[in-house]
Amino acid sequence: MKFLASAMALLGALSLTSGAPINTTNELPNGLPFPSASELAVIEQNAHGTLPNGPPPPVISNKGINNLRLIAFNELFEVAYFNELITNITEGKDGYRFTDSGDRDDALRSLKAILAQEELHAISANDALVHFHVHPIQPCEYTFPVQDFDSAIRLASTFTDVVLGTLQDAIERFVLGHDADLAREIAAVIGNEGEQQGWFRVLQAKIPSALPFLTTADLNYAFNAVKSFTVPGSCPNIEEIPLRTFESLEILEAPGAKTENITFTFNDPEDQAGHGLWMTYINQLNLPIVEPLKVISREGDSVTAQALFPYDDHELNGLTIASVTTSDGPFSDANEVVKWTLAGPGLISVN
């Protein structure tokens, strides 16, 4: 039984490789996505540590392969982001100059380690894909909606929160696919990302640890969040990642630490608003919260609507993932919300 499952997994993997040469169109620092041995040695020095050097697991499930693809897709984006942030600080661009050179040096020291650690996360996921005879994921071109150091750290904090939730989903999927060894590696990465997040939070004058149980997410939300930073058409093999693309959702004004109505816009090309839509929130490890959605206006496919953000009743601190859903649930977890998501994720951070 076990052998059959392995053979099936391997066959599934092999059928995905076409033998065509891989085009690397978008270059990243230090030879990524495919560094040479000497480039890897430099990355490991900068990362203050190495890739795991034990043997990779002999088999992987299809669920496991999709985890690795999404993780590589996300980590390559993070590499591009932190590399550009370091460049902006190093070149002293407007908005990236520090009054205290000690603060600047501290920030660069931390960011250079973070960049190299993200590089190793990306390499590890892609190496595993290659080991299982699956195309590695290639980097895209990216655009980032930040203009200064403070907004760059805020965005880093938000996407790291999404990663911290998504890796919970990855571990569960590895467990369901019997990919135990890979589950352990992801747990090691979650700790690393959590350490980064503690620093991003302190830089924003927040307490380092946001929540007792960090908000969970789903691979599909991370896929859409990262995709929103890519230049359309620039991702060489994004179509090999079998995850759903949702309509866009934008929270127009970030809510504070209180119950209030929030206004947002989303794309609704099939006029599903006419049949009833809801705003659904995922926060911590709690059951998703569903609120009625009130349409304010429509312009073409773009709908502006309002819904309650029920902070007081649910202690909605840290990351909240908002989705416009075509069902009012009740939803048992984040994966269930995904099934009914029209638009999302909207990312809300409180405290």
| Residues of this chain that bind ligand NAG (CB under 6 A) | 20, 23, 81, 84-85, 88, 93, 144, 146-147, 152, 259-261, 294, 306, 308
Q: Is the CB of 94 or the CB of 299 nearer to ligand NAG?
A: 94
| Nearest distance in Å: CB 135, ligand NAG | 10
CB of 285 to ligand NAG, least distance (A): 26
Helices (H), 204-327: 219-227, 311-314
Please say which residue, 81 or 221, places its beta carbon nearer to ligand NAG: 81
From CA 131, how far away is CA 237, in angstroms rounded? 18
User: Measured from the CB of residue 342, what is the shortest distance to ligand NAG in angstroms?
Assistant: 20
Q: Which is nearer to ligand NAG, 263 or 351 (CB)?
A: 263
DSSP code string of 161-181: HHHHHHHHHHHHHHHHTT-HH
Residue 127 amino acid letter:
D
C-beta closer to ligand NAG: residue 85 or 190: 85
Query: In Å, what is the CA distance from 305 to each residue of 21, 252, 334, 338, 348?
Result: 47, 10, 22, 20, 16
Which residues are registered as beta bridge partners of 295?
Answer: 305
Backbone torsions φ then ψ of 299, nearest 5 degrees: -130, 105
We find the least distance from the C-beta atom of residue 213 to ligand NAG, in angstroms, to be 26
- Paired tokens of 159: 């996407």
The one-letter amino acid at 223 = F
CB of 17 or CB of 147, closer to ligand NAG: 147
CB of 91 to ligand NAG, least distance (A): 8
What DSSP line would sit under 73-85, residue for residue?
Answer: HHHHHHHHHHHHH
Side-chain-side CA neighbours of 30 within 13 Å: the count stands at 25
Q: What is the C-alpha radius of gyration for the chain, rounded to an integer number of angstroms?
A: 21
Least spacing, CB of residue 88 vs ligand NAG, in Å = 4
Residue 85 C-beta: closest distance to ligand NAG, Å: 4
> Chain centroid to CA 44: how far?
23
Q: Which is nearer to ligand NAG, 85 or 217 (CB)?
A: 85
| Closer Cβ to ligand NAG, 308 or 334, answer by number | 308
